[in-house]
């Protein structure tokens, strides 16, 4: 699965489970003195980041969520990294790499100046062992198995030489997002599906930071790796602290308790607007690497041909799918829901990845046009009845269940708009907001769903989740597929781009895939949300964004932000004024409640002193 976190499903399982808990946790944490900024006490410079997403696992073989893969990035070096400027592959653990003439053998030169945090040297043997483990042990292939599925053999002829032999050419060989782990530590691990790498600290690694402590949904603490080959980070300590309530995180930022807030998935427009005027706080509003889409259930099925789930059969008609999307006014969504903190959706891959970005030609584009949508529905045979509802051939009115994440305010907001837009078309909408959308999703029990993925500089992964090969083996299995799309034409293009080593030709094939996906109408991208995040300038003097101009900080394709962050000299003890209005409001509320309580108590006593 790799770094692409799914902003839907698994990623969203976040313990939000019972919102009440989240709420109380959010209110409680600011009072919890656990990992204080230790700046004053022992001169240590600590960078504290407020996060909300729960860690699924700290084992790089299991972790798929954005927070976990980001932490793994900090703990373990990869073979190659992405340049923070334009995301081209730059040396990581490997200093040089080259394919053979037949494109089937890749040779990497492993650097000799990298050491594990326990003092041992990092060798090609560690990399070979990591890849071989994923190829041979299915339990170790959970997270990143897709990268090695095409590997024939991985060997380490010398400590600085790594040789990978492929079954078929593979274009992603310079974008292998696989953390390389120390063989001498990990070969002792028994069951890879159960080992979460969170028991014995510090955890041996070779990245810019070393994991020193972890408490689920409380904090993750890392210390700077002084031996890091690229140079030690400027901060001594990096702490990810949990705030399940985003408003609580923002309040903590205002008070200086945390240095950085990323939001999940980003700060709301109101929060960003209020933070923009605050002293010592900088809001970073950058084009994101996510897309935000409306996925259609194409009739869930397994590789064995068995159909399951209960997606509405009317959605199998491409005219219906196009009609639904024609009635979605993307501009209003950007203006009203995201309030400008997003870009209107076009193709599958966000414009930030300009090589692969594609947009539909004017006559292909499904621009907002409710009249055309109504025409298409009429053509498809779904005409309005006396009550103005569209009915199918069976005489039943069209009503779609839209699966939404209860934890994402944007889903609910867009859902409201869909309900009204489609209502005008004569189609009913049942907004089905759940904390856990995974179960109905995997079982295919939905008609439409809100969907979103973070896209990597190499788009292979987000493209692969729509191939027939990603379908589950049987209805009971879980698989990499996103929403059960299986299209022969798309699959052929996918195989071709994977085998294409020429970047320009590959980009062309990828764009044709996006065009195909757009025409199919099963994945309708509505927006590319910005990454809206904020940090304290009196704690962080400078921090690198990716891409360098107008880039994001949290959830980068690399460790650049936290590695490059420079502590500010100023004394951070003077916290911000907090939002006086809110405090006054809360105080007022307490006074009112107390008064009401006292009044009731007095009345009670007045009316009866022996009421049961």
Per CB under 8 A, residues contacting another protein are 18-20, 23, 246-247, 250-251, 254, 267-271, 273-274, 332, 336, 339, 404, 406-407, 409, 412-413, 415-417, 419-421, 431-433, 435, 579, 581-582, 585, 589, 592-593, 596, 600, 603-604, 607-612
Work out how close the CB of 584 gets to another protein at its nearest, in angstroms, rounded to a whole number: 9
Q: CB-wise, 141 or 252, nearer to another protein?
A: 252
Work out how close the CB of 424 gets to another protein at its nearest, in angstroms, rounded to a whole number: 8
Work out how close the CB of 6 gets to another protein at its nearest, in angstroms, rounded to a whole number: 21
Tokens describing residue 247 = 């408003």
Strand-pairing partners, residue 566, are: 542
Work out how close the CB of 569 gets to another protein at its nearest, in angstroms, rounded to a whole number: 28
User: Based on C-alpha coordinates, what's the Rg of the chain?
Assistant: 26
For residues 433 and 300, the answer to whether their CB atoms sit within 8 Å is no
Q: CB-wise, 90 or 582, nearer to another protein?
A: 582
Three-state SS string over 147-162 comes to HHCCEEEEEEEECCEE
Which 3 state secondary structure label does DSSP give 328? coil
Distances in whole angstroms, Cα of residue 159 to Cα of each of 94, 129, 130, 133, 373: 12, 12, 14, 18, 63
Q: How far apart are CA 558 and CA 73, in angstroms?
A: 6
Q: CB-wise, 388 or 589, nearer to another protein?
A: 589
Q: CB-wise, 41 or 580, nearer to another protein?
A: 580
Q: CB-wise, 149 or 587, nearer to another protein?
A: 587
Q: CB-wise, 56 or 245, nearer to another protein?
A: 245
Picking from 133, 189, 241, the residue whose alpha carbon sits closest to that of residue 200 is 189
Q: CB-wise, 71 or 526, nearer to another protein?
A: 526
Work out how close the CB of 449 gets to another protein at its nearest, in angstroms, rounded to a whole number: 15
Work out how close the CB of 608 gets to another protein at its nearest, in angstroms, rounded to a whole number: 5
Picking from 90, 64, 66, the residue whose alpha carbon sits closest to that of residue 78 is 90
Q: How far apart are CA 105 and CA 125, in angstroms?
A: 17
Distances in whole angstroms, Cα of residue 509 to Cα of each of 364, 436, 468, 506: 18, 36, 18, 5
Which 3 state secondary structure label does DSSP give 53? coil
Q: What helix, strand, coil percent values describe the chain, rounded to 5?
A: 35, 20, 45
Strand-pairing partners, residue 47, are: 238
Work out how close the CB of 607 gets to another protein at its nearest, in angstroms, rounded to a whole number: 5
Work out how close the CB of 522 gets to another protein at its nearest, in angstroms, rounded to a whole number: 25
Work out how close the CB of 244 gets to another protein at its nearest, in angstroms, rounded to a whole number: 12
End-to-end CA separation in angstroms for the chain: 61
Work out how close the CB of 3 gets to another protein at its nearest, in angstroms, rounded to a whole number: 27
Q: How far apart are CA 342 and CA 269, in angstroms?
A: 11
Q: CB-wise, 20 or 386, nearer to another protein?
A: 20
Work out how close the CB of 368 gets to another protein at its nearest, in angstroms, rounded to a whole number: 12
Q: CB-wise, 138 or 420, nearer to another protein?
A: 420
Q: CB-wise, 43 or 581, nearer to another protein?
A: 581
Strand-pairing partners, residue 107, are: 98, 163
Q: CB-wise, 101 or 608, nearer to another protein?
A: 608
Work out how close the CB of 611 gets to another protein at its nearest, in angstroms, rounded to a whole number: 8
134: left (phi over 0), alpha (psi -120 to 50) or beta: alpha
Distances in whole angstroms, Cα of residue 79 to Cα of each of 188, 204, 379, 604: 23, 17, 54, 73
DSSP structure class, residue 441? H
For residues 405 and 413, the answer to whether their CB atoms sit within 8 Å is no
Q: CB-wise, 216 or 585, nearer to another protein?
A: 585
Q: CB-wise, 40 or 591, nearer to another protein?
A: 591
Beta strands in 113-186 (DSSP E): 151-158, 161-166
Measure CA 449 to chain center: 17
Q: Which DSSP string corresponds to 301-312?
A: B-TTS-B-S---
Work out how close the CB of 219 gets to another protein at its nearest, in angstroms, rounded to a whole number: 21
Tokens describing residue 394 = 């069976």
Q: Collect all residues with Cβ–Cβ distance below 8 Å to 610 and sequence separation of at least 6.
A: none
């Amino acid at each position: 699965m790799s770094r692409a976190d799914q902003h839907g499903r698994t990623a969203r399982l976040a313990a939000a489970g019972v919102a009440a808990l989240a709420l109380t946790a959010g209110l409680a944490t600011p009072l919890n003195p656990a990992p204080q900024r230790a700046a004053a006490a022992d001169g240590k410079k600590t960078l504290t980041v407020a996060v909300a997403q729960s860690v699924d696992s700290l084992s790089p073989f299991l972790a798929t969520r954005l927070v976990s893969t980001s932490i793994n990035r900090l703990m373990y070096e990869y073979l190659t990294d992405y340049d923070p400027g334009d995301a081209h592959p730059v040396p990581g653990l490997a200093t040089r790499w080259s394919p053979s003439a037949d494109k089937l053998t890749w040779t990497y030169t492993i650097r000799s100046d990298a050491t594990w945090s326990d003092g041992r040297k990092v060798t090609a043997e560690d990399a070979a062992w990591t890849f071989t483990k994923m190829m041979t042990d299915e339990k170790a292939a959970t997270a990143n198995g897709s990268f090695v599925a095409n590997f024939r053999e991985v060997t380490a002829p010398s400590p600085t030489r790594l040789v990978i032999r492929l079954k078929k050419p593979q274009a992603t060989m310079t974008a292998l997002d696989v953390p390389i782990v120390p063989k001498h530590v990990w070969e002792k691990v028994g069951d890879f599906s159960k080992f979460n790498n969170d028991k014995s600290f510090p955890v041996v690694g070779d990245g810019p930071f070393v994991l020193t402590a972890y408490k689920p949904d409380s904090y993750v603490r890392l210390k700077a790796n002084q031996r890091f080959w690229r140079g030690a980070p400027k901060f001594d300590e990096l702490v990810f602290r949990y705030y399940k309530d985003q408003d609580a995180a923002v309040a903590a930022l205002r008070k200086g308790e945390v240095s950085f807030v990323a939001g999940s998935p980003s700060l709301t427009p109101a929060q960003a607007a209020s933070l923009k005027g605050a002293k010592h706080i900088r809001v970073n509003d950058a084009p994101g690497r996510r897309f935000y889409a409306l996925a259609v259930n194409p009739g869930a099925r397994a590789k064995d041909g068995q159909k399951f789930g209960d997606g509405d059969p009317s959605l199998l008609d491409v005219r219906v799918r196009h009609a639904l999307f024609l009635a979605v006014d993307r501009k209003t969504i950007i203006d009203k829901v995201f309030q400008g903190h997003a870009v209107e959706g076009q193709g599958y891959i966000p414009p930030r990845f300009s090589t692969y970005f594609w947009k539909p030609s004017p006559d292909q584009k499904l621009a907002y046009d409710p009249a055309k949508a109504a025409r298409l529905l009429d053509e498809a045979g779904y005409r309005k009845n006396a009550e103005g509802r569209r009915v199918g051939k069976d005489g039943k009115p069209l009503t779609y269940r839209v699966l939404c994440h209860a934890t994402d305010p944007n889903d609910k907001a867009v859902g409201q708009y869909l309900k009204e837009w489609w209502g005008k078309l004569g189609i009913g909408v049942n907004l089905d907001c759940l904390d856990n959308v995974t179960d109905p999703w995997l079982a295919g029990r939905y008609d439409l769903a809100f969907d979103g993925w973070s896209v990597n500089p190499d788009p292979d992964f987000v493209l692969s989740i729509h191939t027939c090969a990603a379908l589950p083996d049987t209805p009971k299995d879980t698989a990499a597929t996103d929403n059960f799309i299986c299209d022969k034409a798309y699959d052929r293009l996918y195989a071709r781009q994977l085998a294409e080593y020429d970047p320009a030709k590959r980009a062309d094939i990828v764009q044709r895939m996006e065009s195909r996906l757009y025409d199919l109408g099963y994945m309708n991208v509505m927006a590319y949300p910005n990454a809206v995040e904020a940090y304290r300038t009196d704690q962080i003097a400078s921090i690198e964004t990716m891409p360098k101009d107008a880039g994001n900080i949290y959830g980068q394709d690399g460790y650049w932000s936290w590695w490059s962050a420079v502590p500010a000299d100023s004394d951070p003890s003077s916290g911000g004024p907090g939002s006086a209005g809110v405090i006054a409001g809360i105080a007022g509320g307490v006074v009112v409640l107390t008064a009401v309580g006292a009044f009731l108590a007095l009345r009670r006593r007045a009316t009866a002193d022996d009421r049961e």
